[in-house]
Amino acid sequence: MVYTKKGNSLSQGNEMDQEKILIVDDSRLSRMMIRGFTLATIPDCSVIEAENGEDALSKCQDQEITRMTIDYNMPGMDGLTLCSELRKKYPHANMALLTANIQDSVKERTEALGISFIQKPVTEDKIATFMRD
């Protein structure tokens, strides 16, 4: 599903000149929150949501994605594996890994891929800061 914000309401859309942002999280509630925070920060963007790695790879196949927020713990492919795959296709995209797993090894792998690290819980400030960078 692709969402854009028009005035005070959400509408489905797919305009070519909009920044396209991919949100990947197996939690529907998390995706809804991140989408809301994203559209509050960048109202004219298009948001593509995916519930796991395979869904994300399928949905962004023919898209020019500029920013991505990717959950770390998901069924099937984990977020770092997905980031590695997406980095090949989108070498210049801004990516953020969202996770409650704050182990040094996860942070180091995230940094090695050139990905931002956002510790959960997700807040509007954290998402807004990432979207503005």
Q: For residues 49 and 15, give the distance between their C-alpha atoms in angstroms, rounded to a whole number.
A: 16
Number of structural domains found in the chain: 1
Q: Residue 92 is part of which domain span?
A: 2-132
Q: What is the pLDDT of residue 133?
A: 86
Instruction: Give the helix/strand (H/E) hosting 50.
Output: strand 46-50
Sign of CA dihedral 5, 17, 89, 115: negative
Q: What is the pLDDT of residue 83?
A: 96
Q: What is the pLDDT of residue 123?
A: 97
CATH no. for residue 100?
Answer: 3.40.50.2300
**DSSP conformational letter for 32:** H
**DSSP conformational letter for 69:** E
Mean pLDDT per block of 10 residues along the chain (133 residues) reads 49 63 97 98 96 97 95 96 95 95 89 93 96 91
Asked if residue 75 has a cis previous peptide bond (ω within 30° of 0), the answer is: no
Over residues 53-90, the pLDDT tens digits come to 999 999 998 899 999 999 999 999 999 999 999 999 99
Burial class (CB within 10 angstroms; exposed 0-12, middle 13-18, buried 19+) of 34? buried
First to last CA, the chain: 25
Q: What is the pLDDT of residue 15?
A: 47
Q: What is the pLDDT of residue 17?
A: 65
In one-letter notation, the amino acid at residue 66 is T
Q: What is the pLDDT of residue 18?
A: 83
Instruction: Return the number of other C-beta atoms located less than 10 Å from residue 51's C-beta.
Output: 18
